[in-house]
Amino acid sequence: MSGAGPHVLYLDHHATTPVDPRVMAVMEPLFTERFGNAASHTHPIGWRAEAVVEVAREQIAEALGAGDPRTIVFTSGATESNNLALLGAVRASRRERPHVVTVATEHPAVLDPCRVLEAGGVRLTVLPVADDGLVDPAAVAGAIDDDTVVVSVMAANNEIGVLQPLDEIGRLCAERGVLLHSDAAQAVGKIPLDVEELGLDLLSVSGHKLYGPQGIGVLYVRRQKGGKRVRLEPLQYGGGHEWGLRSGTLPMPLIAGLARAIELAQAEREEEGARLAKLRELLWMELRAGVPDLLVNGHPTRRLPANLNVALPGARAEALLSALHDVAISSGSACSSARPGPSHVLRALGLSDERIACSIRIGLGRFTTEDEIHRAGGRIAEEARKLREGAPPPADPSGGVR
């Protein structure tokens, strides 16, 4: 099941994933036969809808290691969750000149709200990463001061798949009494992730990244930190839903689908992770056979098992993607594809413009088969060779790639 049509190999699972049929089976009757508004408290239809939502809330809290279902706030997805976490925490702090710390390789859904805060007078520290994409926990510790409200570090990068050292960062944030937020859209159900073990105070989740529906997500909000209530200022008003943090009618079928998707991902995580890691290694070998000077971007091992971000010297990604009408891959984040210019993630790694221009992101998925890997690897290598043979000599005598 590629989900992209009979002739297209879908290898862009970091952008979105198809809804698992087992998730659809849970959602379908909730749209028609068992519909309802969870806020309708005067009749059985509403009570039944509310029960579906609260069971899902409990399931998700347990899956994230949260325990308390009141920590689960339903949103439209990780972008809204990130905005609510960052804007909400800073605005609720009531500090004269609050401070936020984040990382240069974060998703635009984190960096953009941080820039909005900065434009409003908030001090912002954007930490660099090493050439493998990892941030130094010591740099995080050095950036925190008495006015720091929140540190935001993503669990797994959406372009290069790098896994940040959240355990170390969580410990130092706890020691300093600073909130730690993580955009975990790419991580939940794919790597071990427990909010208590990692010391996370705010965590963003998106359903469509883990074979659930689009349009639904979660923000985990710790109840207390250091004996004080964790407070957020809401972004929208009107009804006081979700303990006043996110007003609006809850999409009950999507919530049930999200809970089932997380449940399945967690249950199958280890086996599926091992399978995807083997397929990724197979794809790497297929590509290397056709493009011997292939280069990997990001940490070679500390990354999501389904992620492969590589540079194919001499084969520009834009031309390669145009030629690959039968293979769905990308050159970076789907959420920033409308923005011209090189990937900010790859640039943060210190890569040359030429190497960035020749880089592609491949995301394997639950329904990816070994046969598809062979076919996709062959097609990518074939089109890359054609481009290299017809490419003009590089301007840089050294080859123009790093």
- Kindly report the CATH number assigned to the domain that includes residue 302: 3.90.1150.10
| Side-chain-side CA neighbours of residue 330 (13 Å) | 22
Q: What is the pLDDT of residue 7?
A: 78
| pLDDT tens per residue across span 277-298 | 999 999 999 999 999 999 999 9
Residue 159 lies in a domain: yes
Among this protein's residues, is 173 annotated catalytic? no
Q: Where is the domain boundary, 262, 279, 301?
A: 262
Query: Are 284 and 218 members of one domain?
Result: no
Query: Are 133 and 62 members of one domain?
Result: yes
Residue 396 lies in a domain: no
DSSP one-letter code for 393 = P
Query: Are 254 and 302 members of one domain?
Result: no
Two tokens, residue 156: 């797994």
DSSP one-letter code for 114 = H
| Residue matched to tokens 């090189």 | 342
CA 258/CA 56 separation, integer angstroms:
8
Two tokens, residue 364: 């394997």
Residue 340 lies in a domain: yes
Identify whether the C-beta of residue 87 lies closer than 8 Å to the C-beta of residue 235.
yes
Residue 102 lies in a domain: yes
Query: Are 127 and 176 members of one domain?
Result: yes
Q: What is the pLDDT of residue 395?
A: 46
pLDDT at residue 86 tops 50? yes
Residue 1 lies in a domain: no
pLDDT at residue 196 tops 60? yes
Mean pLDDT value across the chain: 93
Two tokens, residue 9: 């190999």
Q: What is the pLDDT of residue 80?
A: 98
Residue 3 lies in a domain: no
Query: Are 223 and 336 members of one domain?
Result: no
How many CB atoms lie under 10 A from the CB of residue 41? 9
- Kindly report the CATH number assigned to the domain that includes residue 213: 3.40.640.10
Q: Where is the domain boundary, 241, 262, 283?
A: 262
Identify whether the C-beta of residue 382 lies closer than 8 Å to the C-beta of residue 369.
no
| pLDDT tens per residue across span 122-179 | 999 999 999 999 999 999 999 999 999 999 999 999 999 999 999 999 999 999 999 9
Two tokens, residue 44: 């059985």
| pLDDT tens per residue across span 93-108 | 988 899 999 999 999 9
Query: Are 211 and 303 members of one domain?
Result: no
Q: What is the pLDDT of residue 51?
A: 97
| pLDDT tens per residue across span 11-28 | 999 999 999 999 999 999
Burial state string for 265-296 with b = 16 or more CB within 10 A and e = fewer than 16: bbeebeebbebbbebbeebbebbeebbeebbe
Out of 114, 173, 335, 358, which one is annotated catalytic?
Answer: 335
CA 54/CA 69 separation, integer angstroms:
8
Query: Are 195 and 337 members of one domain?
Result: no
How many CB atoms lie under 10 A from the CB of residue 18? 18
Q: What is the pLDDT of residue 1?
A: 47
Two tokens, residue 114: 């941080």
Query: Are 237 and 380 members of one domain?
Result: no
| pLDDT tens per residue across span 296-341 | 999 999 999 999 999 999 999 999 999 999 999 998 655 544 555 7
Residue 344 lies in a domain: yes
Domain that holds residue 327: 9-18+269-388
Cβ contacts of 119-123, under 8 Å, gap ≥ 24 = 121/97, 122/90, 122/97, 122/98, 123/97, 123/98, 123/99, 123/147
CA 198/CA 193 separation, integer angstroms:
8
Alpha carbon of residue 83 to chain centroid: 14
| pLDDT tens per residue across span 237-279 | 998 899 999 999 999 999 999 999 999 999 999 999 999 999 9
Q: How confident is the model at residue 188 (pLDDT cuts 50, 70, 90)?
A: very high
| pLDDT tens per residue across span 199-239 | 999 999 999 999 999 999 999 999 999 889 999 999 999 98
Residue 333 lies in a domain: yes
CA 108/CA 243 separation, integer angstroms:
27
Q: What is the pLDDT of residue 398?
A: 36
Residue, of 86 and 227, whose pLDDT is higher: 86
Task: Give the count of domains, the chain.
Answer: 2
